[in-house]
Amino acid sequence: MSLRRIRAPAAVLVAVAALMAAVPAAAQEPPPEQPSPEQPAPVPVDPAPLPGEGAEPPVEESPDPNGPLPLVIIDPGHGGRDLGAQGRLPAGTPTGLSARRDRGGRALILEKDVNLDVAVRLDGYLRGRGYPTAMTRTTDRAGGDRPFRSEHADLVARVVAANRAARRHAGRRALFISVHSNSLRRSSRGTETFHFYSAGSEARALARAVQREVVFRLGIPDRGVKKAGFFVLRRTRMPAILVEGAFLSNPDEALLLAREDFRQSLAEGVGAGVERHAAARGAGPGSPPDDRPPRTEPLRIRYRVTAGVFRRRAAALRRAALARQKGFEAVVRRRRTPRNGRRPHYVVTGQFIFLQNAKRQRGQLRRAGLPGRVGSAAPPRRAAARRR
């Protein structure tokens, strides 16, 4: 069998030559431009129904940046029809949040709004320092940015969203922080942080670090690190804590939470606690700027600020009323003087853990025309020792 030589038409040869010339040119084209790591593009999230409908709820994530920094999952508590705690504000109080009113037309501040605002500020703080983050909700809706159906469905959606984000970053550690505002009695004050009853050492250490930094920045009473069985602490698969910033049931702390600078300080305190915790475990550039040594024992109120000392209670009550008119929280307390055994009436405007916060309020009192003074707080009662 003989092979015949095949001759292609001239037009076909010209087309083949043009195609061969175009292949190297395409191979030399630059790849499509990638987003800069300094301004990361958001990770697309496929919409999915709530658990029980076939798939997991979505979670808003930031991209995975550099190094061994842990993924921080931020959970703004409540949302949608779940309002959370409520605080009443004087008419015309600026908040920077959505305007809320009760049926009587009185101004309100809602926990769901405060939690989301603090969580967004915390997210920005951490992302600005290179931490990968995820949020269980980014709008005024339930967990996973879904419509609110029930409290249980909301909590399940948050847990599933957090565990899903952790699986996406299986190569690094994850931390879960739920942001809340407290409510109990009008007289309740301070900040506290919770971890689960049987939490591991990392969750307990994270709670201590966050509590310490938040108290330092806010200057309100330290209620300590506590244990609780909250659903989001029990069902998440990573070290988890829940931060209660301040009390909306307390009129004075409700006014604090209405201030944007206070909410920013709260977010920065939580973020600094995360930084300190990560640095203690060899991740990140180091601890926050201050070089205070780690503290594991509860912080104690050491200083109190007074606006006057009086022998007669009526005079002390008048001074307290004047201080409240000028925007200070003031109460009248009696305390025995060690030298002469007398019990004068003190107009107390604040109690603090750190001296610099006490001095700051003293300066505010003096600028308002009141005689501010910093003294030592009353020592804790020894009732427990007497009972032994």
Q: What pLDDT does residue 350 have?
A: 80
CATH number of 303-387: 3.30.70.1070
Indicate the DSSP class of residue 287.
Answer: S
Lowest-confidence segment of 45-59, 159-173, 348-362 by average pLDDT:
45-59
Lowest-confidence segment of 24-28, 86-90, 127-131 by average pLDDT:
24-28
Q: Topology of 60-280 in CATH?
A: Aminopeptidase (3.40.630)
User: How far, in Å, CA of 198 to CA of 326, rounded?
Assistant: 47
Q: Please report, in angstroms and rounded to a whole number, the separation of the first and last CA atoms in the chain.
A: 115
Contacts of 51 by beta carbon, 8 Å cutoff, 6+ apart = 57, 156, 157, 160
Q: What pLDDT does residue 23 have?
A: 44
The dihedral over CA atoms of 313, 318, 319, 322, expressed in degrees to the nearest 10, equals: 160
pTM of the model: 0.61
The mean pLDDT of 270-283, rounded to a whole number, is 88
- Residue 51 reports pLDDT greater than 50: no
Q: What pLDDT does residue 275 have?
A: 94
Contact 162, 143 (CB under 8 A): no
Contacts of 354 by beta carbon, 8 Å cutoff, 6+ apart = 216, 219, 302, 303
- Residue 43 reports pLDDT greater than 60: no
Contact 308, 319 (CB under 8 A): yes
The pLDDT confidence band at residue 103, using thresholds 50, 70 and 90, is confident
- How many alpha carbons lie under 13 Å from residue 175 in its C-beta half-sphere? 32
User: How far, in Å, CA of 285 to CA of 262, rounded?
Assistant: 26
Q: What pLDDT does residue 17 have?
A: 52
Domain boundaries, the chain: 60-280, 303-387
Indicate the DSSP class of residue 107.
Answer: E
- Residue 107 reports pLDDT greater than 70: yes
Q: Which residues of 43-69 are buried (b: 16+ CB within 10 A; e: fewer)?
A: eeeeebebbeeeebbbbbbbeeeeeeb
User: How high does pLDDT run on average in the chain?
Assistant: 78
Q: What pLDDT does residue 26 have?
A: 39
Q: What pLDDT does residue 378 have?
A: 64
Give, for 310, the enclosing helix (H) or strand (E).
strand 303-310
Angle between the N-to-C axes of helices 260-280 and 201-218, in degrees from 0 to 180, rounded to the nearest 10: 140
The mean pLDDT of 343-367, rounded to a whole number, is 84
Q: Is 240 left (phi over 0), alpha (psi -120 to 50) or beta?
A: beta
The pLDDT confidence band at residue 386, using thresholds 50, 70 and 90, is very low
The pLDDT confidence band at residue 283, using thresholds 50, 70 and 90, is low
Q: What pLDDT does residue 338 have?
A: 59
